[in-house]
Structure 1
Amino acid sequence: MPEPEKAAKAPQKHVTRVLDPRSLRGLAHPLRIQLLRSLRHHGPATASRLAERLGESSGATSYHLRQLAAHGFVEDDPTLGKGRERWWRAAQQGISWDASLDRNTDPEVRGAADLLLHEVATNHTQELSTWIATRHEWPEWAGATDMSDFTLRLPPAAARELGQRLHALIDEYRNSPSADAPDAGRVRLHLHAFPQREG
């Protein structure tokens, strides 16, 4: 008797939150950024588990989780809560930057934008440094990683188009059948594109 066919795994939709001035101000705190990153990377957790992971007090993580929830970045995970234990999960898998934030003249919005971008850049640097320090532990990944940089001459419109095409290509791999391969691992991609002064 033939085996029944396995149901095709439905691709998960990658939900991205577009930041506006209010949500940007709600997120722009170093611990809140770390909490959200941890929930996205490691899955649901309680305030005490996050405190232990991040080296913070559970009072601080509880407070900042409630602030993130008030701005819609995290939510309760009712499938895990037992009794008084409150589990949190990320409400979206990513954030995107609205270009209007760069044109906003409110000093508070500009300060929040600077803080968030510096925290993201610091996190990227830490992740890359950790990979470099531990790359000998991943021999099967030799030749499969990349640390490149390129310099192009482009007008802003072409740079936007390039970014959109790169994002579309990455999305093609997000729910690829190869994600279920026995040797599949979580792969981090950092994409930076910015202008530089010449000379």
Structure 2
Amino acid sequence: MQEPEPSKYRNLDARSLRGIAHPLRMQLLNALRRYGPATASMLAERLGESSGATSYHLRQLATHGFVEDAPERGKGRERWWQAVEQGIGFDENLLVDADPAVRGAADLFLHEVATTHARELSTWVGTREDWLPKWSHSTDMSDWTVRLTPERTRELVGKIHELLETYEDEEAPDAEQVRFHLHAFPTESE
């Protein structure tokens, strides 16, 4: 009997949220997910941090199960790290948890996600000419405003997630990593 494939996504609970809700930890995890296994020194150089800081925060991420050793990469004393899962699920109930520390960590987590999305989009705008002409009609920065109930919004987000999962693991020689940011939130109408 074949063992089931481990989940690609992890749902945060109060304990794991406290382990990830730090800007550098979130950047480290994002870098490992996007670029693959790396050492603390490599990540320090990529993120403009000290290797001491990256090493400490990688160990904290490991304590909470977000990263693990990549022993097939290590040579001698060199320690390589890899992400355990490829995504995080966020439970909105963490924002109303009875513990103020959990609510604070949830708020910090969401603000860091929003900051990361804005930074990635801004980087794309600043480097888009590097991708032309091949990608000139393949990118999108659209926005939509529709009137939906909370239930219909959940349904639509779920359908978008399901659709994106059908496009994973493209192996074509000209395939690149493509980031999709989905933001769905209510706004006041006039």
Normalised by the shorter chain, which TM-score bucket?
Answer: over 0.9
Choose which of 42, 66, 83 in structure 1 pairs with 2:59: 66
Choose which of 180, 183, 189 in structure 2 pairs with 1:192: 183
In structure 2, C-alpha distance between the alignment counterparts of 1:156 and 1:62, rounded to whole Å: 42
**In the alignment, what sits opposite 2:166?**
172
**In the alignment, what sits opposite 1:4?**
none
SS at match of 1:196: coil
Please tell me the root mean square deviation across aligned C-alpha atoms, in Å: 1.4
Matched, 1:136 2:129: yes
Where structure 1 has 5 or more consecutive residues not aligned to the other structure, the ranges are: 1-11
The aligned amino acid for 2:110 is: L
Cα shift at 1:60: 0.9
**In the alignment, what sits opposite 2:68?**
75
In structure 2, C-alpha distance between the alignment counterparts of 1:55 and 1:112, rounded to whole Å: 24
CA 1:112–1:18 in structure 2 vs 1: closer, same or farther (change >3 Å)? same
In structure 1, C-alpha distance between the alignment counterparts of 2:174 and 2:7, rounded to whole Å: 23
The aligned amino acid for 2:16 is: S
CA contact (8 A) 2:11 2:88 kept: yes
SS at match of 2:43: helix
User: Which moves more between the two structures, 111-120 or 67-76?
Assistant: 111-120
Matched, 1:27 2:20: yes
SS at match of 1:17: strand
**In the alignment, what sits opposite 2:147?**
153
Q: TM-score, normalised by structure 2?
A: 0.93
Cα shift at 1:100: 2.2
Where structure 2 has 5 or more consecutive residues not aligned to the other structure, the ranges are: none
The aligned amino acid for 2:164 is: I
Q: Which is greater in Rg? A: 1
Cα shift at 1:89: 0.3
In structure 2, C-alpha distance between the alignment counterparts of 1:182 and 1:129, rounded to whole Å: 27
Cα shift at 1:51: 1.1
Count of residue correspondences:
185
**In the alignment, what sits opposite 2:33?**
40
**In the alignment, what sits opposite 1:88?**
81
Cα shift at 1:98: 1.7
In structure 2, C-alpha distance between the alignment counterparts of 1:191 and 1:66, rounded to whole Å: 30
**In the alignment, what sits opposite 1:3?**
none
